[in-house]
Amino acid sequence: MEIRVQEARFDAGAELTAFTAAAEGAGAVVSFTGITRDVTGGLRHMEIEHYPAMTERALADIRAEAIGRFGLADAWIIHRHGRLAPGETIMMVLTAARHRADAFAGAEFLMDYLKSRAPFWKKEVTDAGENWVASRDEDEDALRRW
């Protein structure tokens, strides 16, 4: 349950419920959900490619690092690949800790690493054509704070 890379949709609310039940004894649970946005107004769908042999390992490493660094009671990562319609949930991270500061920091750390260090690539298919989403300098900068 800790790490899932899947093409199928998932129910973020149900995942939060399951995670919270599993993280018994933690006082603080944080979730982040990323959703396909139609920024330009013409998005038909998004395609997410990944590197299967590397993804699992990269996510396991990121998760272990987050748990160790922030003393998390638990952490889950769920990330989809394949074709996603606008408004669909792309991914989710969940963290549990005794105190809120660690749960928040753990989730932000996971997100910063997922953005720039997990082998996923997003392509937007719009009315005007296809384009690979460019990495953002802010995302690389965000890693430096950890």
Partner 1 sequence: MTLQVLYFAWVRERIGLGRETVETDAATVADLVEELKAREERYAAAFAQPGALRVALDQTLADFDAPLAGVREVAFFPPMTGG
CB 33 → a copy of itself: shortest distance, Å? 4
Does residue 66 bind a copy of itself (CB under 8 A)? Answer: no
Span interacting with a copy of itself, options 48-56, 63-71, 74-82, 107-115, rule CB under 8 A: 107-115
102 to each of 33, 73, 94, 143, how far by Cα in Å?
18, 10, 12, 17
Q: Is 101 in the site for a copy of itself (CB under 8 A)?
A: yes
Helices (H) and strands (E) in the chain, counts: 4, 8
75 binds, among partner 1, a copy of itself, none (CB under 5 to 8 A by kind): none
Under the binding rule (CB under 8 A), the answer on residue 126 touching a copy of itself is no
Stretch 43-82 residues interacting with partner 1 (CB under 8 A): 49-51, 53-54, 57-58, 79
- The Cβ of residue 124 has, within 10 Å, a number of other Cβ atoms equal to 22
Our finding on whether 75 is near a copy of itself (CB under 8 A) is: no
Find the shortest distance in angstroms from Cβ 27 to a copy of itself.
4
Point out which span in 13-21, 35-43, 65-73, 132-140 binds partner 1 (CB under 8 A): 132-140
Question: DSSP assignment of 36-61, as one string?
Answer: ---SSS-EEEEEEEE-HHHHHHHHHH
- C-alpha dihedral (77, 78, 84, 86), degrees to nearest 10: -60
* Sheet of strand 43-50: strand arrangement: 82-84, 43-50, 120-126, 129-132
From 88, 142, 144, select the one nearest 115 (Cα to Cα).
Answer: 142
Please give the structure tokens belonging to residue 37. 């946005």
Binding to a copy of itself in span 20-59, by CB under 8 A? 20, 24-38
Residues of the shown chain interacting with partner 1 in the complex, contacts defined by CB under 8 A: 34, 49-51, 53-54, 57-58, 79, 90-91, 100, 111, 114-123, 132-135, 140
